[in-house]
Structure 1
């Protein structure tokens, strides 16, 4: 798993909460280990004491743009509301559809700028915006804050990063400038059952601050316009344009709006009608100085069985990466999967456990560490992902579309893999004026390999099952990883980079059933028969898409250019969905 992206963009609220909240770099004294403290107003928690000691810089947009103890409490309140809500609270209606064409007489006296594409949300949106600009479209970005990256690195593999070069929005020299750290090897391990070591998996730390600075210059050089410090209060979709209201005097008219505001964007919330997420990953962690053993990384690691935090059973996992800010600086994440329900631990509960457990995990003492940043976030996911557009002229992109893996939530890696497909498809949709919701839905199609990942998320979520061993999750994961290691890189490497393929999946499941047949009854108890039945359908479709992409695609593709324009657009999207839905876009 890689903990990367979730843009929580409270579009219409006075405060912008962005998925991760990270404190800014601070030369603070080393933190000693206080005695156990009860949570009360007069007795601050260890988390509060640590976070209060770290100075917080200015807020920026995107994932990890804001951080403070008060921001943690606000996010915890949002999380508590999600867990406790029994009825659906209808979200604000941001988008409205208006019959007829847009006429300037309706907005007399107001300034209206025209674009081919307006991208809402710049932290990840700038990548698709730049790709479209490079194809000759007029593109604007609307960003609530200043468009700049956070201090904490994004971890990614070089193979994924080079997709940005292939798309043509960066060159290799620019990528090298943005690399803050590089390290090998990378470990996967589960409860002292033996470690699996790999190379070149999430082994690069990219500086978002540097990368976004480079991307801004590239975007502007292509003629792109960035509107920083702007809020969009509403969008009206006409027959010929989508009109965004920025302020009483300022409006934008666009042929297409791209929603790049993350999982909880207001448009996404309106489409989903405010319903609860089907699954959530809670993440806490820190970046600290003082690690003497700091040359390797942990992609996923577990050193304990299911445990209880607050009222809930949780299976805790770890990640750890060297940080680019110094040779002794290291980021460690602790995360867990769960379904939102009353009694789920808060982020502060998890952070309290983190301070107790992290030193043993990393073989350090808290007194010897200088805490520079505190990391925390909520990553919701929905089973009906990617999210099909519900309106003409509005397309969800990145985390807002739900295209990231429900296991890794690797939004940046998912973006790089799909950027070429999406930028080409969007450009063709605009050129052909195929901007109705049905046509745009072909750009966010059903992907069976993404849906098949849901089984792994459910298997890694702790459940109160008296007849399932507390060590079952670790046993299952170890059996799977051990089998993939035996089957070699063609099986293990795609999985570690969020790509599920039919052949490798069949081989892995077959080997697990042959070598660990005693684990099968516990799988049924852990995930439940309905989930397994649902997953079986996606598994069959994964095989079907593999067949279509392997055998039907070569027969159809040579004839596509002879089709009428709209049918040609549709068939190109079908071929893309077969290829990406089968994971065949991935090559070793």
Structure 2
């Protein structure tokens, strides 16, 4: 098996809008998928960044209660300039703000009206003053951290593209774990060449292990850095206020009083996008992944990496019972530097620990996990994030001329940290589809919905998220989650790489899933009653429908797609666009975009 790369990306804008290179204190690097990045899509279960923050020394509140150990540790870290995007903030105050967001998610939902960001205006846009030097863009991307990938791909296709970012789109060193196939998507869309891909791979580490009282060793782990060149306009320091959608254009109204017209708005503002909040009517997420961790210096033994590690049953963190998982891997900033994550899955309807409470647990448990003395480490960065997910994902377009991409669309796996890997996996499909939609003026909501279609493999992943969440008042053994994971990984290991490797890259396929479930039921039938208790009959029944559809999509993509494709190419523009999206939905919805050996 070839190793799987990790990418570190300074992301500078075009030369005309060049931003100074980010200088992290002590040359630190941050793992993220637009923020925190916890794993490589091939290295482990996808956990990528959505809403993250990293601490670096901003002092906490004034006189009051004694500071927590978390605050004291964070106050010792050199401060640096906070910049935009997930992971661009790294202060103790940012941690408190994120905890406030998490608390608001867990609170009982009120009947307060969700702010209306997008409004539909009947008729064409008239009497709009473009002003001197202004233009109507083909595409305006809101959110530049990961949105710059889509924006760059579309600009390379000749579209007039602009990026709106409330902060500064500033190059910063940032690490991602990602499979080679996902990285090669950047080549296929024309952002990078194969030579550039090879040049950016700077180091590798192995072995990597899965350990849930079971050890699976896999050789991969790459670390890379690259630079993107965006060919378009950048509007920094500007926040979106509202969007008026007309028959022929959309107008973005900015918080500074300005406005920009375009043919299509791409919402890349993440899970907490105000547009997404409007579409979902402020509904509480179905699940949340809470992540805390550090990047620290002083690990003498630093050549291996954990995909997912769990050695304890459900334990208390704050006032909540949680099942804790770990991941650790060498960082790119030095030979003794290591990134360590502790994460858990929770149901926000039952609440969960605050991030600061999780960090307090992290300081207690991390030394035993990494076999180090905490006081001997130079903690360079504290990492934390919340990653909400919804069953109704990907999110269909709800308005004409407005499309969600990346985490805003919910395209990431519900057991992942969101972000970069899932975006690159779909980058070619999305950039081609968006280009065809804009070129053919197929920008009504129904046409845009085809770009975020139902994907049964993504929906089927919900059972795994539910099974890995500690749920109060459920009569199952405290060791059940570990027992279930052990049974699954043991079965997949016996079945070989063709079953194990796709799963570790967040790709659910019908054949490997059938084999794994079948072997688990044969070898460990006694675990089935606990699965029904943990997940609930409603979730199991719902999952069964997605499982059937996964098999159906596999059949369609394998046998029907080759027959229909020549016919599709002969269709009129609108019909051709629609059928191409159907064929893509079958392929990606069955996980058949994944190819073994990549």
TM-score (norm 1): 0.90
The 2-side partners of 1:174 and 1:25 are apart by 36
Assess, with a 3 A threshold, how the Cα gap between structure 1 residues 382 and 496 changes in structure 2: closer, same or farther: same
Moved more, 504-513 or 401-410: 401-410
- Provide the residue aligned with 1:204 in structure 2: 222
User: In the TM superposition, what is the alpha-carbon distance from 1:457 to its structure 2 partner?
Assistant: 0.1
Distance 1:583 1:343, change over 3 A: closer
Structure 1 residue 135: deviation in Å? 1.1
Matched, 1:560 2:568: yes
Which residue number in structure 2 is paired with residue 480 of structure 1?
488
Structure 1 spans left out of the alignment, 5+ residues:
9-16, 27-39
> CA deviation digits over 1:518-570, x for unaligned, max 9?
11111111111110000000000000000111111111111112212111110
Q: Would you say the 8 A contact 2:50–2:418 is kept in 1? A: no
For residue 151 of structure 1, report the CA deviation from its aligned partner: 4.1
Deviations along 1:311-366, whole A, 9 cap, x unmatched? 21100001111110000000001000011146521000000000010010000010
Partner of 2:248: 240
- Secondary structure of the 2:67 match is coil
TM-score (norm 2): 0.89
CA separation of 1:380 and 1:249: change in aligned 2, threshold 3 A: closer
Distance 1:432 1:196, change over 3 A: same
- The answer as to 2:83 corresponding to 1:60 is yes
1:288 is displaced (CA, Å) by 0.2
Structure 2 partner of 1:47: 70
Q: Which of the numbers 216, 219, 226 marks the counterpart of 2:230?
A: 219
In structure 2, the residue matched to 1:22 is 54
1:277 paired residue number: 285
For 1:164, the equivalent position in structure 2 comes to 186
CA distance in 1, matches of 2:55, 2:100: 19
Residues 51 and 86 in structure 2, CA contact (< 8 A), matched pair in contact too: yes
- SS of alignment partner, residue 294 of structure 1: coil
Counterparts in 2 of 1:109 and 1:560: CA distance versus 1, 3 Å? closer
- Matched residue, 1:263: 271
State the distance in 2 between where 1:111 and 1:275 align: 41
Shift of 1:24: 4.9
Deviates more, 1:94-103 or 1:107-116: 107-116
Matched position secondary structure for 2:426: helix
Structure 1 position 300 matched with structure 2 position 322: no
User: What is the Cα deviation at residue 62 of structure 1?
Assistant: 1.7
Structure 2 CA distance for partners of 1:69 and 1:181, relative to 1, 3 Å: farther
Question: Is the contact between residue 250 and residue 261 of structure 2 (CA under 8 Å) also seen in structure 1?
Answer: yes
Please say if residues 238 and 256 of structure 2, whose CA atoms lie closer than 8 Å, have aligned partners that are also in contact: no
Q: Which residue of 2 aligns with 1:503?
A: 511
Q: Is the 8 A contact 1:391 1:437 kept in 2?
A: yes
2: distance between equivalents of 1:83 and 1:182? Answer: 40
User: Paired residue for 1:186?
Assistant: 208
Distance between the aligned counterparts of 1:524 and 1:263, measured in 2? 30
| Cα distance change of structure 1 residues 235 and 372 upon mapping to structure 2, 3 Å threshold | same
Corresponding residue number in structure 1 for 2:113? 90
Query: Using the alignment, how far apart are the partners of 2:467 and 2:255 within structure 1?
Result: 47
Deviations 1:482-528 (A, max 9, x none): 11111111111111111100000000000111111111111111111
Q: Which of residues 384, 394, 406 in structure 1 aligns to 2:414?
A: 406
Q: Which runs of 5+ in 2 are unaligned?
A: 1-5, 7-30, 37-48
Q: Is the 8 A contact 1:20 1:377 kept in 2?
A: yes
The one of 537, 549, 553 aligned to 2:557: 549
Alignment of 1:99-178 (within 5 A): 99-103=122-126, 105-107=127-129, 112-176=134-198, 178=200
Pairwise CA distance, 1:111:
7.4
Question: How far did 1:421 drift?
Answer: 0.5
Aligned to 2:369: 361
Contact 1:18 1:65 in 2 (8 A): no
Q: Is the 1:336–1:461 Cα contact (8 Å) retained in structure 2?
A: yes
Q: Does the Cα contact within 8 Å between 1:156 and 1:205 map onto a contact in 2?
A: no
Residue of structure 2 in register with 1:290 after alignment = 298
SS in 2 for 1:562: coil
- Corresponding residue of 1:461: 469
C-alpha contact 1:183 1:297 (8 A) present in aligned 2? yes
1:304 deviates by: 0.8
Quote the Cα distance in structure 1 between the aligned partners of 2:257 and 2:95.
35
- The answer to whether the 8 Å contact 2:34/2:146 transfers is no
In structure 2, distance between residues paired with 1:115 and 1:176: 34
Cα RMSD after superposing both structures: 2.1
